[in-house]
Structure 1
Amino acid sequence: MRDFLPADKARREGVLAVIRERYRAHGFDEIETPVMEEYSRLHAGIGGDNEKLAYNVLKRGLDAEAIRAAADEPAELTDLGLRYDLTVPLARFYASNRGQLPSVFRSIQIAPVWRAERPQKGRYRQFVQCDIDIIGDASARAEAELAVATLDTLDALGLEGGRIRINDRRVLDWMLDSFGFAAAERPGVLITIDKLDKIGPDGIVAELRERGATTAAVDAFAAFVRRPMTMEYNPYGERQIRKALPSGAPDDIVGHLIGIGEAVAAARGTDGPLGDIPLVFDPFLVRGMGYYTGTIFELAHPSVDYSLGGGGRYDGMIGRFLGQDVPAVGFSIGFERIVDLVSERADAAAHAIVLVHDRDVPESELLAVKAALVRQGSRVRLEHRTKNLKALLERAAADGYTSFATVSAGTAAEGLEVKPLA
């Protein structure tokens, strides 16, 4: 968990402002949920490995004897926990407030979450997630809206060239079934397949054999991933999808994926029915969250070799809280990764000025000059003149100020000589 100095905080808020503005432009509305949820909701078996990383809150009023008696059963000691993502809270929020929400609800959640990560580079125990979700729409339009809004947001942040890898958990289940993997072994097989980018096909096959997976199924998988492939380029569409899958892929799932591409192409204004849209079908994209039931996606950018976000369809989650299934799909931007890639926005501090003054300037005059500049739209800081003026101005520049002026007794706002800090 980290502290943020003023310049860092201002930079983060600038990026968040762009994200919020773009999300709202696409028709999403921001909500807020509590930082804590009931223990039973956070540990309902739908959060994958994140459930193991949840911070749990000890029940109030427990004495030493009660703690000892329940020491071997965490559920007896805790009744609340800090949220480890924003999707579980959203499902509970929708179930609690459905009567006050539209039939198709488009939500924004931008907030911190907490996971008991091991302290290592690039991993934080408190970090911000930026989620958009659509609840109540089972069509391909929902996934397309999320993809378009996310790509538009990336473009607005100056990170053009982003692409979305896309798959469907139903495709994965069908593929594993066609290879011959038993249902009981599929969760472990998916964990291994998820490492394909890191250890390659040979490494995957070797690990599957070490796991003791069905031999014939591993052989079938190995033959498929090692099959000869032509080098022809195929844009996102039916040909790309079917070439990446074993023959006989379910038409309804393939049709849903094609529908997403057609809607994204229309929104992005590309030529032809699909064109060269920034979608790539990846049959071995897994994503680890246990609640995904259909489409899954990850956001990639050519400047880095790791994903900048992801999401998917989780049609079964809300039913756990509401008693009836409601279609839902979401996309989350990895804010902590994106903020480090975004260049300083030129307009972020375009009118930030430091007023350097001597101690004999009346306070009333100082505040009058400051107020006049603030009314003009400037950000203004007052600083006593020091012997080391250079150090003072360097600190101001580091805090995001772009200009300075000296104020003497009797100086008015219109008489200031403003100079750039750079």
Structure 2
Amino acid sequence: MATVNPPRGMRDFLPADKARRERVLSVIRERYRAHGFDEIETPVVEEYDRLHAGIGGDNEKLSFNIVRRGLDADAIRAGAEDPAALSDLGLRYDLTVPLARFYATNRGQLPTVFRSIQIGPVWRAERPQKGRYRQFVQCDIDIIGDDSARAEAELIVASLDTIDALGLTGGVVRVNDRRALDWMLDSFGFTEQERPGVLITIDKLDKIGADGIVAELRERGATAPAVEAFAAFLRRPQTLEYNAYGEKQIRKALPENAPDELVAHLVGLGEAVAAARPAAEGIDPIPLQFDPFLVRGMGYYTGTIMELAHPSVGYSLGGGGRYDGMIGRFLGQQVPAVGFSIGFERIVDLLESAEDATARSVVLVHDADVPVAELVAHKAALIAGGARVRLERRTKNFKGLLERAAADGYTAFAAVRAGDAAEALEVKPLS
């Protein structure tokens, strides 16, 4: 007999949960649109070859593939070792690959610099665990067609503004640049062929520390002098002096003689963000922090890398980066692009007590003998006044009825008896 539970890693949402999620989504959409982004929609299914074109990083390994229709037993046996022979479609594992395909398809109808919003579910064959699901919602903003730091600044400012609007003030964006990572590894002496593996190891710095990084690089068989040079850099003596985001912080975090052009790009990004977000007293003027070891794991990043942090939690609440090479795979010409994704599921969990303070919601608790015409008239009158209204027949467990209504997000109730005039209804708060 089939289980009544949803598939592992996927969830049902009760009305109050769904309402909370929709309230958060409405704030995100409103703030994104205020910053000049326009929402688009793409199919949840993309062609198998596109999802496995080498542009999705490790997520490609987690794709849910759709078996081709009409395969007979012989074809299935013949393709048992080759998923591409069995599948022609797959569920999207992120929103970036579909956006690249969307732009290539529709670029003639889009502005030269296109600012998009994409909000929707994605699917990954993850190992289900706390905070990690097989189906989850992503909230992406992307700018296509702008190769300047203005694009990154717009994304950062819009994202910080959005979490501020959700009540999560004090957010900071950690910043790095793929070009800085490549220059740094080259300066230590790692070969170009070694870089992907070295970056995978560096991405674990927060978890295993400097000693763990050095040990793993040695186990990988990375160039020995490069490993020793990197180890010396990680263990170099440093002052405890605090430096706000800017040239001093950036140069202090990198090996000596970092390229001036790269440093200037990162400094300019901070100046642009600061101009858009005047700092309150006692708060850093620039809500950015340079992190030379920020990798974010996605191999398609070509420039700036960003990650959203908040002091209330030890994990990131979003991130993104520049991926100038992706769209060119579809068009045969380079198109600059950069995106940022807010971690919707993590943010919703932080806002469990969030309530919709803008609308009144009322439960009309009526006696069994109240005529239907009177009930729907009372309900219609309250709805016309901007309220959300539910009808409930009075039960013996009156307290339990009100508790359930409160759990469903209702904030007030009124008792209704036969013959009551609309103006006679006494609406009382539930709490």
TM-score range, shorter chain: over 0.9
Query: 1:343 Cα deviation (Å)?
Result: 5.5
Q: What does residue 134 of structure 1 align with?
A: 143
Pick the aligned partner of 2:34 from 21, 25, 33.
Answer: 25
Mapped to 2, the partners of 1:249 and 1:163 lie a distance apart of 24
Kept in 2, the 8 Å contact 1:265–1:275? The answer is: no
Moved more, 337-346 or 208-217: 337-346
Q: Does 1:191 align with 2:205?
A: no
Q: Does 1:279 align with 2:288?
A: yes
Query: 1:8 Cα deviation (Å)?
Result: 0.3
Mapped to 1, the partners of 2:231 and 2:261 lie a distance apart of 26
Q: What does residue 52 of structure 1 align with?
A: 61
Mapped to 2, the partners of 1:277 and 1:387 lie a distance apart of 59
SS at match of 1:128: strand
Query: 1:63 Cα deviation (Å)?
Result: 1.1
Give the TM-score of the pair, scaled to structure 1.
0.98
Kept in 2, the 8 Å contact 1:314–1:329? The answer is: yes
Once the two structures are superposed, residues 229-278 of structure 1 have per-residue CA deviations (whole angstroms, 9 ceiling, x without a partner) of 1111111111111111111212222121111111101101249xx96211
Amino acid at match of 2:169: E
SS at match of 2:327: helix
Cα RMSD (Å) of the superposition? 1.3
Q: What does residue 200 of structure 1 align with?
A: 209
Q: What does residue 332 of structure 1 align with?
A: 341
Amino acid at match of 2:264: G
Mapped to 2, the partners of 1:345 and 1:64 lie a distance apart of 53
Once the two structures are superposed, residues 132-151 of structure 1 have per-residue CA deviations (whole angstroms, 9 ceiling, x without a partner) of 00000000000000000000
SS at match of 1:340: helix
Once the two structures are superposed, residues 201-237 of structure 1 have per-residue CA deviations (whole angstroms, 9 ceiling, x without a partner) of 1111111111111110000001111111111111111
Query: 1:119 Cα deviation (Å)?
Result: 1.6
Mapped to 2, the partners of 1:275 and 1:360 lie a distance apart of 64
SS at match of 2:119: strand
Query: 1:347 Cα deviation (Å)?
Result: 3.7
Kept in 2, the 8 Å contact 1:349–1:402? The answer is: no
SS at match of 1:41: helix
Q: What does residue 244 of structure 1 align with?
A: 253
Query: 1:413 Cα deviation (Å)?
Result: 2.1
Kept in 2, the 8 Å contact 1:162–1:299? The answer is: yes
Query: 1:349 Cα deviation (Å)?
Result: 6.6
When residues 73 and 343 of structure 1 are mapped into structure 2, their CA distance, relative to the original with a 3 A threshold, is closer
Q: Does 1:66 align with 2:69?
A: no
Q: Does 1:158 align with 2:178?
A: no
Q: What does residue 130 of structure 2 align with?
A: 121
Equivalences, count = 420
Q: Which runs of 5+ in 1 are unaligned?
A: none
Q: What does residue 173 of structure 1 align with?
A: 182
Amino acid at match of 1:379: R
Q: What does residue 13 of structure 2 align with?
A: 4
Mapped to 2, the partners of 1:53 and 1:413 lie a distance apart of 57
Q: What does residue 149 of structure 1 align with?
A: 158
1:11-410 correspondence runs (5 A): 11-270=20-279, 276-342=285-351, 344-348=353-357, 350-410=359-419
Query: 1:172 Cα deviation (Å)?
Result: 0.4
Residue identity (%) = 80
Once the two structures are superposed, residues 100-134 of structure 1 have per-residue CA deviations (whole angstroms, 9 ceiling, x without a partner) of 10000000001000000112111100000000000
Mapped to 1, the partners of 2:197 and 2:400 lie a distance apart of 58
Query: 1:47 Cα deviation (Å)?
Result: 0.9
Amino acid at match of 1:93: F
Amino acid at match of 2:65: N
Query: 1:344 Cα deviation (Å)?
Result: 3.3
When residues 349 and 2 of structure 1 are mapped into structure 2, their CA distance, relative to the original with a 3 A threshold, is farther
Kept in 2, the 8 Å contact 1:22–1:149? The answer is: yes
Mapped to 2, the partners of 1:175 and 1:210 lie a distance apart of 21
Kept in 2, the 8 Å contact 1:50–1:84? The answer is: yes
SS at match of 1:90: helix
Mapped to 1, the partners of 2:79 and 2:411 lie a distance apart of 59
Amino acid at match of 2:347: I
SS at match of 2:292: coil
Q: Which runs of 5+ in 2 are unaligned?
A: 1-9
Kept in 2, the 8 Å contact 1:35–1:82? The answer is: yes
Mapped to 1, the partners of 2:313 and 2:130 lie a distance apart of 16
Mapped to 1, the partners of 2:357 and 2:71 lie a distance apart of 50
Query: 1:329 Cα deviation (Å)?
Result: 0.2
When residues 349 and 261 of structure 1 are mapped into structure 2, their CA distance, relative to the original with a 3 A threshold, is closer
SS at match of 1:112: strand
